[in-house]
């Protein structure tokens, strides 16, 4: 069921082996063990069940974490443990399909062609290789479309996507209003046809600590909501150093994307993060990406802005071009004034 990593990246793996024996010119990466931290924890129950003071404190906690960390975790988020467990079970069932079947996702799962992805096609060195596979699915492929009534995967994804979309809208509205933005913006601009679910699987890797599960990057959206298992492996940059995120079975992880960093004129932080590999255990996660229409103009909240104005289409096209050309995303530095 695993993608053919060893065959596709034979040359890069050979270079790593050569580096281990001291051969000149060989590329390699060594990931050191980093300290495990708890992310800031926000109890969202205070938004509906609390007094006015508790509501405002909850909003302030979300805003503060977005400024100081760019990452936080939420509990009492409105998505039941039963639904999370069912979503995880259906996700595992999907990834257990043979590779040849998964790679024809538009035929067996009715997802759009190109939804199934693995590795890093543009990798030119071991540092650019991601040891993972994913289904990157538009919500328009899930919500009220082709699936039959007995399609359990699709119905589970539809239920999950609906709930996580509402959570994303709620959090984005809080963060946007703090910047003086209209509360209607996300409802009007971030709709099912522009947002995505990405189901991830990280197979065991025979050279853990030397190959990424997902190479370092920032997210090209407003915000991301992540549900991960308890294996661990997510790491992020805090105060200039990498830290590991301690899994919390009751929480969802929220992280700020590039677009919110631009909107906030660098008040909110879109933080670099990565996934490291494990030699024995596979890891699963599912991410929701809150993205706008392609023609939505992104600009800073105040002048002078740190970044020039750009459309989401322009930003996304530049990211894709850089990945094709260099093997990695450059992102916001391309748009600094």
Q: Which two tokens stand for residue 258?
A: 């590039």
5-9, 23-27, 290-294: range with highest mean pLDDT: 290-294
Burial classification of residue 228, based on how many CB atoms lie within 10 Å of its CB (0-12 exposed, 13-18 middle, 19 or more buried): buried
CA Rg, the chain, in Å? 20
Mean pLDDT, rounded, of the chain: 91
pLDDT per position as a tens digit, 302-315? 888 999 999 999 99
Read off the pLDDT of each residue in 260-279 and give the average, rounded to a whole number. 96
144 pLDDT tier (thresholds 50, 70, 90): low
Q: Tell me, what DSSP letter sits at residue 181?
A: -
Lowest mean pLDDT among 41-55, 72-86, 97-111: 97-111
Task: Give this prediction's pTM.
Answer: 0.93
55-64, 102-111, 127-136: range with highest mean pLDDT: 55-64
Q: Which two tokens stand for residue 317?
A: 């096209």
Residues serving a catalytic function are 283
Domains and CATH numbers, the chain: 29-301 (2.60.120.330)
The answer on pLDDT for 11 being more than 60 is yes
pLDDT per position as a tens digit, 176-200? 999 999 889 999 999 999 999 999 9
- Mark residue 285 as left, alpha or beta (left: phi above 0; alpha: psi -120 to 50; beta: remaining): beta
Residue 101: its pLDDT value, please?
A: 94
The answer on pLDDT for 150 being more than 50 is no
Residue 29: its pLDDT value, please?
A: 57
Q: Nearest-CA neighbor of 129 among 277, 232, 236, 248?
A: 277
C-alpha distance from residue 181 to each of 32, 175, 176, 184, 240 (Å): 41, 9, 5, 9, 30
The answer on pLDDT for 31 being more than 90 is no
The answer on pLDDT for 80 being more than 70 is yes
Q: Which two tokens stand for residue 312?
A: 């989401």
Read off the pLDDT of each residue in 119-139 and give the average, rounded to a whole number. 90
Residue 321: its pLDDT value, please?
A: 95
Residue 121: its pLDDT value, please?
A: 81
Q: Nearest-CA neighbor of 238 among 214, 273, 268?
A: 273
């Amino acid at each position: 069921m695993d993608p053919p990593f060893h065959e596709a990246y034979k040359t890069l793996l050979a270079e790593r082996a050569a580096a281990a024996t001291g051969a000149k010119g060989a590329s390699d990466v060594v990931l050191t063990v980093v300290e495990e931290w708890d992310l800031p924890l926000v109890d969202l129950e205070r938004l509906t069940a609390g007094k006015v003071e508790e509501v405002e404190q909850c909003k302030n906690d979300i805003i503060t974490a977005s400024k100081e960390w760019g990452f936080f975790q939420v509990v009492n988020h409105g998505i039941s443990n039963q639904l999370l467990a069912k979503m995880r079970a259906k996700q595992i069932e999907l990834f257990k399909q043979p590779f040849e079947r998964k790679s024809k996702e538009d035929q067996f799962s009715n997802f759009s062609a190109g939804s199934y992805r693995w590795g890093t096609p543009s990798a030119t060195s071991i540092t650019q290789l991601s040891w993972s596979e994913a289904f990157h699915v538009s919500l328009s492929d899930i919500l009220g479309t082709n699936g039959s009534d007995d399609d359990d995967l699709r119905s589970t994804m539809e239920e999950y996507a609906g709930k996580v979309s509402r959570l994303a809208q709620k959090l984005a509205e809080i963060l946007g209003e703090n910047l003086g933005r209209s509360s209607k913006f996300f409802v009007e601009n971030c709709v099912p046809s522009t947002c995505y679910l990405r189901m991830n699987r990280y197979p065991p890797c025979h050279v853990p600590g030397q190959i990424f599960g997902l190479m370092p990057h920032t997210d090209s959206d407003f915000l991301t909501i992540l549900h991960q298992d308890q294996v661990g492996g997510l790491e992020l940059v805090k105060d200039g150093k990498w830290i590991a995120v301690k899994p919390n079975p009751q929480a969802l992880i929220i992280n700020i994307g590039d677009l919110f960093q631009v909107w906030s004129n660098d008040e909110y932080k879109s933080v670099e993060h990565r996934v490291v590999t494990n030699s024995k255990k596979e890891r699963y996660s599912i991410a929701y990406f809150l993205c706008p229409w392609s023609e939505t103009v992104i600009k800073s909240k105040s002048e002078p802005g740190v970044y020039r104005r750009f459309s989401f289409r322009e930003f996304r096209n530049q990211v894709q071009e850089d990945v094709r050309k260099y093997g990695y995303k450059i992102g916001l530095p391309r748009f600094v004034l």
